[in-house]
Amino acid sequence: MMRQYELVERVAAYNPQVDEDLLNRAYVYAMQKHGSQKRDSGDPYFSHPLEVAAILTDLKLDDASVAVGLLHDTIEDTSATRDEISAVFGERIAKLVDGLTKIKQLDLLSREARQAENLRKLLLAVSDDVRVLLVKLADRLHNMRTIEFVKPEKRGRIAEETMEIYAPLAGRMGMQGLRDELEDCAFRVLNPDAYETITEKLAELSEQTDRAVETIMTDLTARLSDGGLKAEIKGRQKRPHSIFSKMQRKSIGFEQLSDIFGFRVLVETCDDCYAALGIVHTAWPMVPGRFKDYISTPKQNEYRSLHTTIIGPEKQRAELQIRTHDMDALAEYGIAAHPLYKDEVIGDHDLLARESKAYAWLRQTVEHIAQGDAPEEFLEHTKLELFQDQVFCFTPKGRLIALPRGATAIDFAYAVHTDVGDTCIGAKVNGKLTPLIQPLENGDEVEIVRSEAQRPPPAWESIVVTGKARAAIRRATRSHVREQYSGLGGHILQRAFETAGREYRQDLLTSILGTFSHTDVGDLLAAVGRGDIAADAVIKAIYPDFTTDRKQGRTAWRPEEGWFAAARASLKFKLPGANKKTNGEALPLRGLDQNMPVRFSPEGGAVPGDRIVGIMTPGEGVTIFPIQSPSLIAFEDEPDRWIDVRWDIDAESREQYPTRIHVSALNEPGSLAAIATIIGGSDANIDNLRMLRRAPDFTEMEIDLEVWDLKHLNRIVQDLRSKSIISNAVRVNG
């Protein structure tokens, strides 16, 4: 643990006029007040405020800030009072400690219904003196460095709070170094597997690229020196959370990242920055679209630098940041790097507004907050501009949900709870029904409309922007498809066992799970449904005396006829509105969605009213063909792939089915429009149209349609044939 004189020496290293008496008194007072208190790690509690003070010395803050770092928990956690601290250290110190005590009492993530008001109070507390924010961030940083000692049930909440509130706040104040460490600490807690994987890959990559990095630094130093510039060059490595965020944002792998290693070029003046840029771009080709000038147009937090990416020595991509030493200090420490925050005029708000755009912005935001008494007015005025790379939205009960910019109501639903996302069918944003894919804005109040019958469509995965939503959608899709394959596998086995004259019960499957390397009956059934495991292999595993005659392409229990004939003979089907009682001999086909392991023939499809048969394709499911399809001939020698299926559709069903027609039409103006009018007027939908052959007088085309049933299709074909411009119209049976 750091001693008094060591703390004084740290401050004296950057402030020769250090107030030793103030620091010594604060050190002794805090140590006495915390006394025998222990942290979760078992260390003396005083070690925490001492480490906070050390972090503040790293930021080179004034004596008062360091003293407040030592005292920041005394009112909250000891017998000390504000009046006592005011008497011992003065009103200025007491005010800062009291401000931190108010923030300490806020619990931004556990009081869901009060989060808007809590955030409002946080900003109001910071606005009175920016050092409140600096000490609070240092306090949070040390807590995150030692978070492994916190109880597991609290760890996740603290890490989420850090990622959603404190890290963006540090970034908004320009304190990028502190933000990076806060994000990495929180990332390690919230996603330990990803953190470990990326850290390992970074270590491996560092070993592989050491020589290339050294070559680039040497070459770059020589060229800048030859150009008359005095430059300091630093290599830097992208942080794990930054890498993870970019991989998610751009949907790319680790190996596709080109800016994991970069270089910082520090020069003396602003003119030298542009001179260095000219030397770099003259020596090496730049990567188009990768140049940004934040010197002429600084970021809102006052960040200034030139960014460019070049193809350097050995064809290595290298990202360069070119800036002055002062710009570099501001980039790393933000408002903490400003000399104004290290002297006695810190309370002069007018001067602050002139000197620091970041803090002036914060005060302006807080002034808007103060215009209203209710959290709703706070949101109306501010739109939570604090988090420029995030949007903050609210549930109807006031819970604050932080999301990446560009997030949709689907992301919001999954952020509330996975079950809410899985059952989401719509959203009301600020009281109005809004498309689920519409990006949300800061301050939106979002109400999710749910249905227990809903399952998340796989297409949502390409819409959402949060990893949590994407993972949940994938998981739900896999689960749903597994259920359907499992059900299909159960039907296949039941039919196969009946045909073989053997008893079928699911409990019989338990004894053979090890044979097929499965631990769950559902997984085994799904494997059968996918075609990965043949039904006769399952029968053989349960009944070793069972045999099949493979040479003849037919099973031993049906020697008298081929499967093609058997499929025709035993096929059952139903038209819409027909009696729905079944005899169990064929698989019911109710309707298809994009999750189902059942699809229609790509060459002509099938519609209710057709006699149909299914063909199993391993790993893909069942493909449905009309019984008259010539494509079925190709499968006649593969009996295990044939599945008997039938239509089983509700009369009220509003689902259309795919089919294809071949049309020959006269080459006359408006003929194509007439065909489209006939089809559209018949309540059908055109999916695709292909011109097959165009002669001087006739054009042949294929049209993919969606129709209700066979009667509907036949009516469309007859309507087309009745037109004088059409010489022929027939259905295509693929």
Place of tokens 């509105």: 577
Q: Do domains 4-191 and 657-731 have the same CATH topology?
A: no
Query: What residue type is assigned to position 359 of the chain?
Result: Y
Catalytic residue among 76, 293, 326, 702: 76
Catalytic residue among 9, 77, 326, 461: 77
Phi-psi region of 564 (alpha: psi -120 to 50; beta: other; left: phi over 0): alpha
Label residue 423 by pLDDT band (50, 70, 90): very high
User: Catalytic annotation on 259?
Assistant: no
Bridge partners, 233 (sequence order): 265
The answer to whether the beta carbons of residues 375 and 120 sit under 8 Å apart is yes
| pLDDT greater at residue 392 or residue 189 | 189
The answer to whether the beta carbons of residues 409 and 403 sit under 8 Å apart is no
Q: Does the pLDDT of residue 268 top 90, yes or no? A: yes
- Token pair recorded at residue 665: 């039409």
Label residue 588 by pLDDT band (50, 70, 90): low
**Which pLDDT does position 496 carry in this prediction?**
82
Q: Does the pLDDT of residue 127 top 90, yes or no? A: no
Domain boundaries along the sequence of the chain: 4-191, 194-337, 390-454, 547-653, 657-731
Percent of the chain with pLDDT over 70: 80
3-class state of residue 508 by DSSP: helix
The answer to whether the beta carbons of residues 718 and 684 sit under 8 Å apart is no
pLDDT per residue over 115-124, tens digit each? 455 556 556 6
pLDDT per residue over 529-569, tens digit each? 777 788 888 888 888 888 765 444 434 333 333 333 333 33
pTM above 0.85, yes or no: no
H or E element, residue 524: helix 521-530
**Which pLDDT does position 572 carry in this prediction?**
35
Topology annotation, domain 194-337: Beta Polymerase; domain 2 (3.30.460)
Label residue 104 by pLDDT band (50, 70, 90): very low
Q: Does the pLDDT of residue 15 top 80, yes or no? A: yes
Residues 593-598: what's their mean pLDDT?
55
Alpha helices, H only, 15-114: 20-34, 47-58, 63-71, 74-77, 82-89, 91-104
Label residue 603 by pLDDT band (50, 70, 90): confident
pLDDT per residue over 341-366, tens digit each? 444 434 433 333 344 555 565 665 55
Q: Which of 649, 582, 572 is nearest to 611 (CA)?
A: 572
Residues 686-700: what's their mean pLDDT?
86
Residues 571-588: what's their mean pLDDT?
37
Q: Which CATH class is domain 390-454?
A: alpha beta
Q: Which CATH class is domain 4-191?
A: mainly alpha
Q: Which of 498, 652, 521 is nearest to 584 (CA)?
A: 498
Q: Does the pLDDT of residue 339 top 50, yes or no? A: no
**Which pLDDT does position 465 carry in this prediction?**
84
Q: Does the pLDDT of residue 382 top 50, yes or no? A: no
Beta-strand pair 657-666/698-707: antiparallel
Report the Cα 454 to chain-centroid distance in Å. 21
**Which pLDDT does position 164 carry in this prediction?**
76
Q: Does the pLDDT of residue 24 top 80, yes or no? A: yes
Non-local CB neighbours of 622 within 8 Å, separated by 6+ positions: 488, 597, 598, 599, 614, 615, 616, 643, 645
**Which pLDDT does position 587 carry in this prediction?**
55
**Which pLDDT does position 471 carry in this prediction?**
79
The CATH architecture annotation of domain 657-731 reads 2-Layer Sandwich (3.30)
Label residue 453 by pLDDT band (50, 70, 90): confident
Label residue 580 by pLDDT band (50, 70, 90): very low
User: Catalytic annotation on 77?
Assistant: yes
Q: Which range is most confident: 151-160, 423-432, 482-491, 537-546?
A: 423-432
Let me know how long the chain is: 734
The answer to whether the beta carbons of residues 585 and 499 sit under 8 Å apart is no
Query: Sign of torsion, CA 212 215 221 225?
Result: negative
